[in-house]
Amino acid sequence: MVPMGEFDLLARIRERLPASGARTHLGSGDDAAITVPGGATATSVDALLDGVHFRRDLASPRQIGHKALATALSDLAAMGAEAGEAYVVLGLPADFSEQQCLELLDGMTALAAATGTDLAGGDLSRAGELFLAVTVVGHAPVPGELVQRAGAQSGDALVLTGEIGGAAAGLELLDNPRSEADSVLVKRQLEPTPRLAAGRALARAGATAMIDLSDGLGADAGHLARASGVKLEIEAGSVPLAPGAVALSEATGRDPWWLLSAGEDYELLASVPANHLEEATAAVLGEGGTALTQVGEVRGGSGVEIRLPDGRLLEPGGFDQLA
Amino acid sequence: MVPMGEFDLLARIRERLPASGARTHLGSGDDAAITVPGGATATSVDALLDGVHFRRDLASPRQIGHKALATALSDLAAMGAEAGEAYVVLGLPADFSEQQCLELLDGMTALAAATGTDLAGGDLSRAGELFLAVTVVGHAPVPGELVQRAGAQSGDALVLTGEIGGAAAGLELLDNPRSEADSVLVKRQLEPTPRLAAGRALARAGATAMIDLSDGLGADAGHLARASGVKLEIEAGSVPLAPGAVALSEATGRDPWWLLSAGEDYELLASVPANHLEEATAAVLGEGGTALTQVGEVRGGSGVEIRLPDGRLLEPGGFDQLA
């Protein structure tokens, strides 16, 4: 069954899509898009729902579109893949206007253009609540150039792009606004940046394992440790925290180390052989425009150990005591 | 944000997935799946929502899973592609149990196994209503072996696989059950079969354009005619209608020709050069196990003209007068 007006809306959406990318032989409008990948592909799907992953009262349609594509592309960044194509499913509730739908698409097409992603297809449906499901396909010449969660070796350096805690602080500020100066934190929450160039630089520099931080440093480090069959030792004092997030924690009487469990920063956590650390740091800064910081080491064993500057040891499940 | 129990449920789902296919280097469980397509890919996304595309009171979880994958694969059939990988997003309401979720996946994995499809990844989220978004990737050696909606030429024969009307009749019977003998119609509605082998046979036999029937013969013929820039002349008397559907129409006092506008049969409509018609018919029967019937011809011009046996002409928009 086709929702009323779907064909009209699809036509208006297609008018706004930029020309297809080099790999796309046939874009939106047929039964399927046709591409010629020419090597290995990395494919990931992400669902975003109103009330779960965003709130329509806090984010504009444009920001919702941006965030849906950004979080999907972040998975490609974590593979060290080049962004390729995106396919978008929209579930549209009755109170989401056609104009809002087009604004949502504008947020997506702007990020697609900035990252070289081709919006190659999609589907629309009526829905009780707004949701998006985004499939992204990334590319690499051969599978071996893509970086998995498994592969970290004892002795590798554990490295992190950028800084964390900003997105969670931004979420708090959306509910309890303080000052204009906090807009950088709010933007981290509403308009995350997928670290695609940094991910490719890390892959080329020999990263042995990689993951993007959606669930929080502790939880995502746990995923990487489990997949690689290693123990990750993290020095909390080395982890770059967003300055505004630390200030917010202090102002609200919370231990700033809770930010180590804060999610949605979409930074990359990777293991790099110690003798590649210098090369990786230079490459991430040069190509990704992002700082790369060593935050710990890979050891034999299992699990994640986070050492606070005062010597306390935290398990990823132990953050609640700080919150 | 991660719904409670998502990781446990994901682990149980992964246990039930069969081993990965030949093209899949890395399946579900990392940031992205890794595949090596080795040629051209056809990619399509489909959304199915409770109350729009299925009803939880009428379809079992297993049937819902089957139908979601089947309708997505039908788009690959319409390209003449070989089924490859599927990526599944599930939006799970609070009253949909983990057991129901696993049954839904069982319906999907059974069809995946029958069609050679690899369930290579997915995402779960809490949701207010049950929905599925399925991305499927099909394969062909080169883009030219995939069949688009554009390409029909004046003089081509217009052909149809199988028979139509069964799915719509099945939907009526679900609401108003009559007898056990109607189960074949109900199955057409709840467990459609993607015509993958027939689609590949038609592609190899030189089909110039193809589409699957989701919106109904009239509407989908309109899509093909528009994309190809041709006129399609359909002889209604040649169109194979599901016998039970005709009987149901007569029993309920409706003109059986309304079945020409009935949707969700997922048969294939294609244009074939007249001198390839015999070869195509033999190939679809031999490889797809399905009858192929000439239902009309491709002419210069635009639009779709359906001629009833009594000489009346129907436009695709003119079915309402019959209903």
Q: How does pLDDT run across B143-181, given as a tens digit for each residue?
A: 999 999 999 999 999 999 999 999 999 999 998 877 766
State the complex-level ipTM: 0.91
> Exposed e or buried b for every residue in A229-258, given b needs 16+ CB within 10 A?
ebbbbbbbeebbbbebbbbbbeeeeeebbb
Decide if A40 and B47 are in contact by the 8 Å CB cutoff.
no
Q: What is the CA radius of gyration of chain A?
A: 20
Query: What's the mean pLDDT in B193-208?
Result: 98
User: Residue A2 is encoded by which pair of tokens?
Assistant: 């086709």
Report phi then psi at A242, rounded to 5. -60, 125
Render pLDDT for A269-317 as a digit per residue (tens, 0 to 9). 999 999 999 999 999 999 999 999 999 999 999 999 999 999 988 866 6
User: Residue B73 is encoded by which pair of tokens?
Assistant: 């694969």
| CA of B236 vs chain A CAs: smallest distance (Å) | 23
Contact indicator for B215, B286 with CB cutoff of 8 Å: no
Render pLDDT for A120-155 as a digit per residue (tens, 0 to 9). 999 999 999 999 999 999 999 999 999 999 999 999
Please give the Cα distance from A93 to A130 (Å, whole number): 6
- Closest Cα partner for B164 from B244, B227, B233? B244
**Predicted pLDDT at B221:** 97
Decide if A87 and B32 are in contact by the 8 Å CB cutoff.
no
| CA of B281 vs chain A CAs: smallest distance (Å) | 22
Please give the Cα distance from A57 to A267 (Å, whole number): 26
Give, as one character, the DSSP assignment of residue B300.
Answer: S
| CA of B307 vs chain A CAs: smallest distance (Å) | 25
User: Residue A130 is encoded by which pair of tokens?
Assistant: 């707004």
**Predicted pLDDT at A69:** 98
Decide if A45 and B85 are in contact by the 8 Å CB cutoff.
no
**Predicted pLDDT at A190:** 94
pLDDT of residue A7 exceeding 90: no
* Predicted model pTM: 0.93
Decide if A45 and B2 are in contact by the 8 Å CB cutoff.
no
How far is C-alpha B323 from the geometric centre of its chain's CA atoms? Answer: 24
**Predicted pLDDT at A76:** 98
Render pLDDT for A91-121 as a digit per residue (tens, 0 to 9). 999 999 999 999 999 999 999 999 999 999 9
Contacts (Cβ under 8 Å, ≥6 apart) of B270: B147, B158, B159, B160, B202, B207, B208, B209, B210, B211, B280
Q: What is the largest CA-CA distance in chain A?
A: 62
- Closest Cα partner for A317 from A306, A265, B123, A214? A306
Burial of B56 (0-12, 13-18, 19+ CB in 10 A): middle
Closest residue in chain A to residue B129, using alpha carbons only:
A128
Which residues of chain A does B39 touch, with a Cβ-Cβ cutoff of 8 Å? 36
Please give the Cα distance from A131 to A298 (Å, whole number): 38
How far is C-alpha B223 from the geometric centre of its chain's CA atoms? Answer: 15
Contact indicator for B296, B232 with CB cutoff of 8 Å: yes
pLDDT of residue B1 exceeding 60: no
Contacts (Cβ under 8 Å, ≥6 apart) of A248: A169, A172, A173, A178, A182, A185
**Predicted pLDDT at B94:** 95
Render pLDDT for A32-75 as a digit per residue (tens, 0 to 9). 999 999 899 999 999 999 999 999 999 999 999 999 999 999 99
**Predicted pLDDT at A29:** 84
Compute how many other C-beta atoms are within 10 angstroms of the C-beta atom of residue A51: 14
**Predicted pLDDT at A323:** 41
- Report which of residues B259 and B9 the model is more confident about: B259
Partner residues linked to B307 by β-bridges: B235, B313
**Predicted pLDDT at A28:** 84
How far is C-alpha A264 from the geometric centre of its chain's CA atoms? Answer: 7
Task: Spell out the domains of chain A, with CATH numbers in brackets.
Answer: 6-144 (3.30.1330.10), 147-322 (3.90.650.10)
Please give the Cα distance from B214 to B20 (Å, whole number): 30
Which residues of chain A does B51 touch, with a Cβ-Cβ cutoff of 8 Å? 128
pLDDT of residue B44 exceeding 90: yes
| CA of A133 vs chain B CAs: smallest distance (Å) | 7
Mutation target vs A (from B30, B53, B119, B147; most A CBs, 10 A cutoff): B30
pLDDT of residue B319 exceeding 70: no
| CA of B278 vs chain A CAs: smallest distance (Å) | 26
Decide if A149 and B31 are in contact by the 8 Å CB cutoff.
yes
Contact indicator for A255, A322 with CB cutoff of 8 Å: yes
H or E segment to which residue A67 belongs: helix A61-77
Please give the Cα distance from A194 to A291 (Å, whole number): 14
**Average pLDDT of every residue of chain B:** 92
Residue for token pair 């690899």: B118
Please give the Cα distance from A159 to A157 (Å, whole number): 6
**Average pLDDT of every residue of chain A:** 92
**Predicted pLDDT at A180:** 65
Compute how many other C-beta atoms are within 10 angstroms of the C-beta atom of residue B254: 14
Contact indicator for A150, B56 with CB cutoff of 8 Å: no
Decide if B30 and A2 are in contact by the 8 Å CB cutoff.
no
Closest residue in chain A to residue B3, using alpha carbons only:
A52
**Which of B29, B45, B52 is closest, CB to CB, to A122?**
B45
- Closest Cα partner for B61 from B99, B9, B16, B7? B99
**Predicted pLDDT at B318:** 57
Query: What's the mean pLDDT in B240-245?
Result: 93
Residue for token pair 């989401």: A96
Q: Could you tell me how many CB contacts below 8 A there are between chain A and chain B?
A: 207
Contact indicator for B194, B70 with CB cutoff of 8 Å: yes
pLDDT of residue A2 exceeding 50: no
Query: What's the mean pLDDT in B86-96?
Result: 96
How far is C-alpha B178 from the geometric centre of its chain's CA atoms? Answer: 26
Render pLDDT for A172-219 as a digit per residue (tens, 0 to 9). 999 887 776 678 899 999 999 999 999 999 999 999 999 999 999 999
Please give the Cα distance from B16 to A9 (Å, whole number): 39
- Closest Cα partner for A107 from A54, A58, A69? A69
Report the first-to-last Cα separation within chain B, whole angstroms.
48
Please give the Cα distance from B274 to B156 (Å, whole number): 5
How far is C-alpha B8 from the geometric centre of its chain's CA atoms? Answer: 32
**Predicted pLDDT at B175:** 84
Grouping H, G, I as helix, E, B as strand and the rest as coil, residue B160 is: strand
